[in-house]
Amino acid sequence: MKAMVLAAGLGMRLRPLTNDRPKALVEVAGRTLLEITLSRLRSFGVREVIINVHHFAELVLKYLKRTITLVCGLRCLAKRSCSIPVAA
């Protein structure tokens, strides 16, 4: 099964938490929203994920590279909102 995660928003309603990071990297109980989302998708049987990024895209890509063990078993591809592929 495949899924798409929309992580390109500006996160304006979560300011000041999103002044220096995208909403997807805001932590709740020690886990980022992106980690929580990917873990839940994996538990539902999803094996391929496309992550749409834009605002602070580089931080999301760095996060995915650093924490690839957290999404073990998922094939992740991050893409910018303007449809330019970005290697994760």
pLDDT in the model for residue 81? 54
CATH no. for residue 17? 3.90.550.10
Burial of 52 (0-12, 13-18, 19+ CB in 10 A): middle
pLDDT in the model for residue 86? 44
pLDDT digits (tens, 9 = 90+) for 6-53: 888 888 888 998 898 989 999 999 999 998 988 898 889 888 888 888
pLDDT in the model for residue 77? 57
Domain count, the chain: 1
> Residue 5 pLDDT more than 90?
no
Full-model pTM: 0.75
Strands 31-32 and 27-28: antiparallel
pLDDT digits (tens, 9 = 90+) for 52-83: 888 888 888 888 877 765 555 556 556 565 44
Residue labelled with tokens 């992550």: 51
Residues in the chain: 88
Domain coverage including residue 33: 2-86
